[in-house]
Amino acid sequence: MFKTVKGTASDIKDMKIRGAGRIARAGASAMGTFAGNYRGGSLTEFRKDIDTAAKILLDSRPTAVSLWNGVRASTKDVGSASSLEEATESVVRNSAVFVEMSSSAVDQIAKIGAKRVQSGDTIMTHCNSSAAVGVIKEAHFQGKDIKVYATESRPWGQGLLTVKELSEAGIDVTLIIDSAVRSVMKRTDKVFVGADTVTSNGALINKIGTSQLALAADEARVQFNACTETYKFSPMTMFGDMVTIEERGHDEVVDPARLPKGVKIFNPVFDSTPAKYIDALITELGILSPGSVYDVMVRQLGEDIFRMRDDS
């Protein structure tokens, strides 16, 4: 029964499926497939089984709230369903709606963000964010003359995906190592990065090293933009929950056999950038200040959000 869900969770954990938006869409799709294929007995059994499926997916990567929001959006009507058929159909429908909304949000961010790019700009980006890369590609497609510095983004090296995508689009892109960020920032006009999670006080949780780009941008008076769909805003952080910073395998950093016995490895793969270092959140709703995250979440989730406070 949980084969598809476990397969998707494994692909997300192993980063075969990666990127906060993609893992959210994969999670929602897996929930829709689970419900569409459900041949269980009763509504009560389905509610228990769909919760099990959700937990399997949510345990795969703890930091990106997008996965939690994608799974939650898919199952939001199960509790109020009055029959098994109504419950399963609601998951199939809601997961498809989330996937469509999430994909169109990336396109909307590209259109809005590209307006903040001027011809002649030199841009820096970090990791491989479909939202940030979308802004850069849209600016290029609009005929703006831009150059891009993409960081390698160790240890996983997502920057290699970014330079491949941008060069294939015909964009002038240069790969730099992560420790070159502050030096190269001197010749940079704007930074565009993605987001895994945005907390209720406007902090950006993104690939490790993002906060260093923000610090260097602040020092160099370079505009720092986070490109993020609003379903990456985290309601749980409103009520004090901390975002879990995922730590991944030591062998992603270096072959442990190359290290003297007793040397430890610490591999956190996300970091937090305080709101004060962020000039703009580029979202599908428009250009937001980090200070507006709370209001956007309350407006989007309504009274539901305060039920989360009572559940958390």
Site string for ligand RI2, 137-176 (x = CB under 6 A): ---------------------x------------------
Task: In angstroms, give the least distance from the CB of 18 to ligand RI2.
Answer: 4
User: Using CA atoms in the order 131, 133, 138, 139, what is the torsion angle rounded to 10 degrees?
Assistant: 120
Binding window for ligand RI2 (CB under 6 A); candidates: 17-25, 144-152, 279-287, 291-299: 17-25
For residue 155 the two structure tokens come to 């240890």
- The length of the chain in residues reads 312
Q: What residues contact residue 114 under an 8 Å CB cut-off, 6+ apart?
A: 135, 138, 139, 142, 144
Task: In angstroms, give the least distance from the CB of 39 to ligand RI2.
Answer: 33
Distance, in Å, from the CA atom of 115 to the CA atom of 110, rounded to the nearest integer, reads 9
For residue 24 the two structure tokens come to 């959210």
For residue 154 the two structure tokens come to 């160790």
Comparing every residue's Cβ against ligand RI2, the nearest one is 194
Half-sphere CA count of 251, side-chain side, radius 13 A: 1
Neighbours of 272 (CB within 10 A): 15
The reply to whether 310 belongs to the active site is no
Task: In angstroms, give the least distance from the CB of 177 to ligand RI2.
Answer: 17
Distance, in Å, from the CA atom of 256 to the CA atom of 223, rounded to the nearest integer, reads 39
Catalytic entry in 49, 121, 127, 279 = 127
Burial label, 123 (beta-carbon count in 10 A; 0-12, 13-18, 19+):
buried
Q: Please select the residue that binds ligand RI2; options are 49, 152, 196, 284, rule is CB under 6 A.
A: 196
Burial 167-182 (b: 16+ CB within 10 A, else e): eeeebebebbebeebe
Give yes or no for residue 209 binding ligand RI2 (CB under 6 A).
Answer: no
The reply to whether 145 belongs to the active site is no
Task: In angstroms, give the least distance from the CB of 254 to ligand RI2.
Answer: 19
By C-beta, is 193 or 305 nearer to ligand RI2?
193
Q: Please select the residue that binds ligand RI2; options are 50, 67, 207, 281, rule is CB under 6 A.
A: 207
Q: Please select the residue that binds ligand RI2; options are 60, 90, 94, 130, rule is CB under 6 A.
A: 130
CA distances from 230 to 10, 79, 243, 251, 278 (A): 26, 24, 16, 34, 16
Task: In angstroms, give the least distance from the CB of 205 to ligand RI2.
Answer: 9
Give yes or no for residue 129 binding ligand RI2 (CB under 6 A).
Answer: yes
In 3D space, the residue among 249, 268, 255 whose CA is nearest the CA of residue 14 turns out to be: 249
Q: Please select the residue that binds ligand RI2; options are 27, 70, 159, 194, rule is CB under 6 A.
A: 194
Count of residues binding ligand RI2 (CB under 6 A)? 17
Give yes or no for residue 19 binding ligand RI2 (CB under 6 A).
Answer: yes
Task: In angstroms, give the least distance from the CB of 230 to ligand RI2.
Answer: 12
Binding window for ligand RI2 (CB under 6 A); candidates: 129-137, 178-186, 272-280, 284-292: 129-137
Map the footprint of ligand RI2 across residues 248-307, applying CB under 6 A: 269
In 3D space, the residue among 239, 238, 231 whose CA is nearest the CA of residue 199 turns out to be: 238
Binding site for ligand RI2 (CB under 6 A): 18-22, 127, 129-131, 158, 193-196, 206-207, 269
Catalytic annotation, residues: 127, 196
